[in-house]
Amino acid sequence: KAGVTQTPRYLIKTRGQQVTLSCSPISGHRSVSWYQQTPGQGLQFLFEYFSETQRNKGNFPGRFSGRQFSNSRSEMNVSTLELGDSALYLCASSLGDTGDYGYTFGSGTRLTVV
């Protein structure tokens, strides 16, 4: 079966712009989580959605937002981009809302802010 699909794979944006990233989970998975990965900070939790509801949110500024659609696809938006937002953004899908079945990651979107 198809894995977790993230688009686009690479993005280059200018400071001050906004960006939208997309994540399509494994078919049947209802939970989608987003993470930011940087060399200095590692993998940091952004937010988690389950059945279109944001369940949890990490310690990121309000410029980072997301949503989940009825088909479980999720989008993440970052407004007013800063240089420090350059990172690999990963999404992960899970069958349930507690992760008991493990989280499957997509290949990520590499965002570069110049």
Partner 1 sequence: GQNIDQPTEMTATEGAIVQINCTYQTSGFNGLFWYQQHAGEAPTFLSYNVLDGLEEKGRFSSFLSRSKGYSYLLLKELQMKDSASYLCAVRDWRQLTFGSGTQLTVLP
User: Is 68:91 a contact under the CB 8 Å cutoff?
Assistant: no
Min dist CB 113 to partner 1, Å, is 19
In one-letter notation, the amino acid at residue 30 is R
Q: Contact between 48 and partner 1 (CB under 8 A)?
A: yes
Min dist CB 12 to partner 1, Å, is 17
Binding residues for partner 1, rule CB under 8 A, total: 21
What is the phi/psi pair of residue 84, to 5°?
-70, -5
Q: Which stretch binds partner 1 (CB under 8 A): 10-18, 64-72, 74-82, 93-101?
A: 93-101
Q: Contact between 58 and partner 1 (CB under 8 A)?
A: yes
Considering only residues 8, 16, 96, 99, which one is a binding residue for partner 1 as defined by CB under 8 A?
99
Closer residue to partner 1 (CB): 86 or 107: 107
Strands 19-24 and 10-13: unpaired
Q: Render 16-36 in DSSP notation, one character per residue.
A: T--EEEEEEPPTT--EEEEEE
